[in-house]
Structure 1
Amino acid sequence: MRLNPSVTQKNFLSMLGILIVASGPYRVTLRSTGIDLMPIDDALKPGHYDIRPYSRKDTISITDEPCITRILSRTITGRDDIFRARIRERDGKCVITGVVNTEISWNDWTGFEAAHIFPVSSEEYFVQNGFSRYITNRIGPRDTGINSCQNGLLMLSNIHQKFDSFKFSINPDDGYKITCFDTDIFGIDGRTLDPICRDHNNEKGVRDELLRWQFRQAVLANMRGAGEPIFEMDFPPGSDVMGEILSGPEPAKRMEAELFSRLSGVSL
């Protein structure tokens, strides 16, 4: 994780709350000053931080909660077409950068993509862990809600790739602030998710519970150990896609994610 301006003492402590498993309260201290962090909005200072329990009887460890293997989500089925259309209709802009699509009247969406918050490759996990209950506009008993517009955001193509790689996330519990976990080359760190997509009184509005899950996954992916591997996403025509996947990091997990992503929405 890279330290960007959006990271405050308060949200750093909240991130540690995701990573740390503790049997009792603990303190986080900047080693160079000996000063404990407080849940305030002051910027986090660079340096080494020590995490210690207040009581010697208590223990601290890093969570072993798994982080899902995520690949770039693409619209490849009929259900995805509906998802994309509803996201475009609701947002009309990249809700991360604020860039408006000025060519809507020509139905030209070049450079804009509908991104799933919860990826279609993890639809089974989505259902088994009860996330589908947060989708209130499902159509029929067989609709899991994974392709609901409540599970999507419109983004510029390059921003979408960063999102699917967990390079940034949106924290609904911190004013929908965007936090970059990598170098902020697109200038989005500290921005706020556009309100157009998050009207809680609108059946089309994105759901906080799904944003909260994605933020948790991003913390696990970027702040634990060396972080999760970065997958190659750019496969020009004629590329040996299978060969590149098999020679890349965690090929078995990626192949499984690719398979489930392609099978999502296929009726038997």
Structure 2
Amino acid sequence: MAIQPGTTKVGFIGTGVMGSSMAKHLMGGGYEVHIYNRTKAKAQHLLDAGMIWHDTPGEIAAACDVVFTIVGYPSDVEAIYLGESGIVQSAKTGAYLIDMTTSSPALAGRIHEAAAAKGQFALDAPVSGGDIGARNAALSIMVGGDQQAFAAIEPLFALMGNNIVLQGGPGAGQHTKMVNQIAIASGMVGVCEALIYAKNAGLDLNNVLLSIESGAAGSWSLSNLAPRMIAGNFEPGFYVKHFIKDMGIALDSAAEMGIDLPGLSLAKELYERIAEAGLAEKGTHALYMAWD
């Protein structure tokens, strides 16, 4: 099946903070986009733009040639892909099924096997870059699956991101995302502690950023999220509750491999503390509030 604008029907399931922008980029690329979201009202602006609504993920799978998903938790992924009347059961032979949720590597393998048994092509393709990357079509997309399927879908990935790498077979994309989240988790602790130190030293935090963000301390979190911390804007680009989920997946996978990750364990403990304090729906940079 040739994937091309004007003829290929693309489904997008999960039009939240990131998915909304990603679906818009696909539509902007000339594709007919079909959508499903748990709360229809939150997708109304996409329907107003011309996207086509379906009442269930299975309905989208039956209607589309390519289906993208970006939902909340591995349990959600398992239900919509492998559940009764789910995506795998409903999709056409030859369909491409791409999960962009950060989820379990083992589950990605199961979905790949179930899809292959029905003549479908599944890829796990979690992303990094948050709401800013999604809005600017500048996501990093980490892909696991078969080379042939990756090559077919790469033009669609290119509408949403600018760093697209096939990391290996089924589950490799999810493992790579775990590497990403491990690096971010301890790094975010460092960013927060640095700003709290600067504040208590009586420094101008914006001036401090001018000096350190382009040096050895520089990071995406420091450049993009520290200004939000300083401004007191803790609205989500990526939810605290979802980051806790990701850290749990990474720690479970690490335990299966017999490795200890003390920095990640500490970060998860700190994030669970602010979630219990009512900040689970805030952005990951709300970790700053654990000190402030």
User: So what's the TM-score if we normalise by structure 2?
Assistant: 0.22
If asked which structure has higher relative contact order (CA below 8 Å, sep 6+), I would say 1
More helix by share: 2
User: So what's the TM-score if we normalise by structure 1?
Assistant: 0.24
